[in-house]
A = this chain, B = another copy of it.
Amino acid sequence: MTDSQESTGAQVVMRRLLAEGVDVCFANPGTSEMHFVAALDTAPGMRPVLCLFEGVATGAADGYARIAGRPAATLLHLGPGMANGLANLHNARRAHSPVVNIVGDHATNHKALDAPLESDIDALGTWLHGAVHRPESAADLDAAVRDAVRDAVGPLGKVATVILPADFSWGPAEVPAAEVEPSEQSDSSETIDVTAAAELLRAHGDKVVILLGGTATGASGVSAAARIHAATGARTLVETFPARLARGRGIPPLDRLQYLGEVATQQLAGATHLILAGTRKPVWFFAYPGKPSELAPEDAQVHTLAPADLEKLADALGAVAPEPAEPDPLPAPTGPLTVQNWPLVIGALLPENAIISDEANTSGVLLPAATASSPPHDVLTLTGGAIGQGLPVAVGAAVAAPDRPVIALQADGSAAYTISALWTMAREQLDVTVVILNNRSYAILQMELQRVGTAATGERSRSLLDIGNPNIDFAAIAQGFGVPATRATTAEELAAQFAAAVEEPGPHLIDAVLSRVP
């Protein structure tokens, strides 16, 4: 640390981030961020993680927040750099992940000139429904960073952006270092109504659906929901794309509300009451011709319960934990890899205390059943629907939890969006095993083409959903980015390669080539 006389604005930003507990920065810097980069040399507590693309940096910050429970910073290069990171910030917003973007901007006297990289950074922050802080002077920097971290962390996590003009960054600090004190964290608890919920459940039993999301999908929330179900018959479901879901042996395997609205509607059919814990009223992911947009029955009453109250509610109902099901030994699958058998391989071999970054998409429909009796683990899902999230989220999760194995189950089409995340895994020697579910197609769109009711049968339209021409060799690409890789075409090969990959520290990739006709 230098003293205040010698400090730059960038050093003030760095110190305030550290004082607020933000000590990891996923970075893709440019010229306007060079002073922030330089300030790293005076801040040994800050861990910089270099990413080759901003979408990797922002997705990594999302994954970090979901596992660490606190925000990382990103370092982004003006508006275009933030634009490159925007889709995964959209996912972070939907996950309610706290993220603090430090976005460099032109020096204040340079803004009006409309230099090539000039753009409206504030508008991008606003697009994310996040908090945007543009300090008016160097003296505002400390407060801007403090407020941004507070905005990010509570009561509901959000994406907060600090716009850092280059001249404030290189100029002298206007806050002495001694004044930088950790601020108080916001309280993230919400109002509760345990008594009313208990009455409702006693009165309506299996006509009640409890939908869990946000912080309610940890082991305690899921277990409490299972107890409530056992005591009252209420249906319990997890939102379609939870930010972080506890699963595995000893944790009740609650069903998720399905992505396909047709199925989700059935899951909610007949409900007269919907209790939302950490999530909001479910809607169809897309609209389809002639279909409704809401998933719950029209006349169902909707209630909101604080996630922290789930256990109290279970206690109030006198609910006891159901007998945990004895884990069935999973059959060891054999033969060509298919959408049916690959999840069984992963389920059987999942290491203890793993984190799954799940962007398997259509290839992953059978994964929940296959991992229900695996060792306890956390699953991070595609919260905002903007694909290309899985590999970056795995980077962030591995940085947040270096002692836990991270398994990225990744559809091929989505993998191509942010494939350079592999390089950061290699550089940081992160313990991530990537399994590419390689079906050589945008399979979800082949399904969607039918669902939206089109009569497309032509070669030209179908060709836009086929990414098998040419086939992508993900093992070659991984090796190009410095990640050891293999290729599996049978269940036996996948099992051998997966076991070896999780055994050895550091990143590995398995290109799991699925047979087109299972």
Interface residues, chain A, CB within 8 Å of chain B? Answer: 27, 29-32, 34-35, 37-41, 44, 48, 50, 52-53, 55, 79-81, 83-84, 86-87, 90, 94, 106-107, 109-110, 113-117, 119-120, 123-124, 126-127, 166-167, 170-171, 241, 283-289, 293-294, 383-386, 388, 413, 416-417, 419-420, 423, 426-427, 444-445, 448-449, 451-461, 463-465, 467, 469-482
Contact = CB atoms under 8 A, between A and B. Distances in A.
Contact of A166 (B48, B287, B427): B287
Given A53-B417, A80-B385, A90-B83, A449 B38 contact: yes
A91 to B, nearest CB: 8
A119 B107 contact: no
A392 to B, nearest CB: 13
B37 A456 contact: yes
B90 A80 contact: yes
Contacts of A94: 116
A500 B501 CA distance: 39
A11 B507 CA distance: 47
Nearest to A286: B31
Given A38-B455, A117-B385, A109 B170 contact: no
The 9 closest A-B pairs by CB, nearest first: A41-B458, A470-B482, A107-B287, A38-B456, A476-B480, A477-B480, A80-B386, A110-B287, A38-B454
Contacts of A120: 127
Nearest to A48: B464
A294 B50 CA distance: 33
A462 B119 CA distance: 28
B482 A116 contact: no
Given A90-B83, A413-B52, A115 B286 contact: yes
Contact of A31 (B55, B106, B294, B448): B448
Contacts of A166: 286-287, 452
- Total identical chains: 2
28 contacts: A32-B286, A34-B454, A34-B456, A37-B445, A37-B454, A37-B464, A38-B454, A38-B461, A41-B461, A44-B460, A48-B464, A50-B463, A50-B464, A52-B413, A52-B467, A53-B416, A53-B417, A83-B87, A83-B386, A86-B86, A106-B286, A107-B293, A167-B289, A416-B420, A423-B470, A472-B480, A473-B479, A474-B480
Contacts of A53: 388, 416-417
A476 to B, nearest CB: 4
Contacts of A289: 167, 170-171
A419 B477 CA distance: 10
Contact of A472 (B383, B384, B473, B481): B481
A52 B167 contact: no
Contacts of A117: 285-286, 384-386
A113 B283 contact: yes
A471 B464 contact: no
B384 A80 contact: yes
B423 A106 contact: no
Nearest to A281: B113
A505 to B, nearest CB: 16
A503 B459 CA distance: 32
Given A35-B454, A285-B117, A475-B480, A293 B109 contact: yes
Contacts of A384: 80, 116-117
A470 B386 CA distance: 29
Contacts of A35: 452, 454
A423 B473 CA distance: 11
Given A31-B452, A478-B480, 11 more contacts: A31-B286, A37-B454, A38-B456, A41-B458, A53-B416, A83-B87, A116-B385, A117-B286, A472-B482, A476-B479, A477-B480
